[in-house]
Amino acid sequence: MNKMQEIINKDYTPLEKILGIATALCVGIIIGFMLAPAKKGIMIGSKNGCNNGSHNKENGNSNQIASKDGAKK
C-alpha cells in the first residue's frame, strides 16, 4: 500500500501529466471500441450509392452507362 501512496503523492512534471492524460485517453478510446456493440461490423460511408447511372446492373454490365431511353453508350 505504501508503494501506491508514493505513486499518488509524487510531484509530476507538466510533461508527465500530459503524457499520463494522453495515455489514459487513448486506453479509454480503445476500451470503448472493444466494448461498443458492433453487431453489423464497422462501416465507413453510408452505402447510399451514387445513383448517377454509371452502375447499370439491370442490363448486366456495370461498366456501360445507359442513357435516358435505355440505349447503352
pTM of the model: 0.45
CA distance 48 to 44: 12
The per-residue pLDDT for range 10-65, each reduced to its tens digit, is: 898 999 999 999 999 999 999 988 887 766 666 666 666 666 665 555 555 555 55
CA distance 50 to 56: 11
CA atoms within 13 A of residue 39's CA, in its CB half-sphere: 0
